Amino acid sequence: MDLKSLRRLYKLVAEDWRLSQFWYDRQTAETIAAEVATLCETLSSPRVSCIACPTLYAYLKKIAPGVPAQLLEFDKRFEQYGTEFTFYDYNQPDDLPSALKHSFSIVVADPPYLSKECLEKVAETIRFLSRPGESYLLLLTGEVQKDLAAELLGLRPCGFRPQHSSKLGNEFRLFTSYSPGARLAQTFGELDQAIGLLSIAKSRLRRTTKV
């Protein structure tokens, strides 16, 4: 399939805020898709599941069309992705085809709500899907879920800050089960800010030591 046909097939639908749909901005979707594609290169038989993150699924298929990926989503408009779409309601976390059980080496999730109950149920789904002992987990959610993400799944936040095309009030983070190192370090904007603060501090220090 050429790139133009791929783009047509994996186009996104409009956000429906009643379903808590807030799509990533382009840089976020490309960064996470690139991270998933990099992880896939290190695995002998990669298989990716995208739980409630259709933008990530679409960008992943654009940059790595050969990677087997499954989108688990509540919104049936994504049935357009054919057999790689599975209907998913987080209220029934294990109500999924048995063929999906423990079959994914990479699991990415972006729960629809910031409640404890929602993350607990999505964590159950993540455990259902992931290959025991050999999977990479990535969770995109609010900073407020930091302690719960650590408690339920052993995840830690990394420097990269996900952004959305509609501005959201909550600070979002990417939590991972592994250390992505420099790949998902702070954004360039944050680094620029840090360098700026450092040079202000340096010049203040020079001024005070001269007195």
Ligand X SMILES: C[S@@+](CC[C@H](N)C(=O)[O-])C[C@H]1O[C@@H](n2cnc3c(N)ncnc32)[C@H](O)[C@@H]1O
Binding site for ligand X (CB under 6 A): 19-24, 52-56, 73-75, 88-90, 110, 112
Nearer to ligand X, 20 or 187 (CB): 20
Instruction: State the nearest-atom distance from the C-beta of 22 to ligand X, in Å.
Output: 5
Nearer to ligand X, 86 or 130 (CB): 86
Residues 6+ apart with CB under 8 A from 146: 157, 173, 175
Residues 6+ apart with CB under 8 A from 135: 104, 105, 106, 107, 177
Instruction: State the nearest-atom distance from the C-beta of 80 to ligand X, in Å.
Output: 14
Instruction: State the nearest-atom distance from the C-beta of 197 to ligand X, in Å.
Output: 30
Give the integer Cα–Cα distance in Å for 160 and 175. 9
Q: Which helix (H) or strand (E) holds 126?
A: helix 116-129
Instruction: State the nearest-atom distance from the C-beta of 8 to ligand X, in Å.
Output: 19
Tell me the β-bridge partners of 141: 173
Phi and psi at residue 59, in whole multiples of 5°? -70, -35
Nearer to ligand X, 117 or 151 (CB): 117
Q: What is the DSSP letter of 110?
A: -
Nearer to ligand X, 92 or 193 (CB): 92
Nearer to ligand X, 10 or 136 (CB): 10
Phi and psi at residue 41, in whole multiples of 5°? -65, -20
Instruction: State the nearest-atom distance from the C-beta of 28 to ligand X, in Å.
Output: 8
CA torsion 14→57→30→41, rounded to 10°?
-170
Q: What is the DSSP letter of 130?
A: B
Residue closest to ligand X when measured from CB atoms: 55
Nearer to ligand X, 94 or 192 (CB): 94
Give the integer Cα–Cα distance in Å for 180 and 57. 20
Instruction: State the nearest-atom distance from the C-beta of 56 to ligand X, in Å.
Output: 5
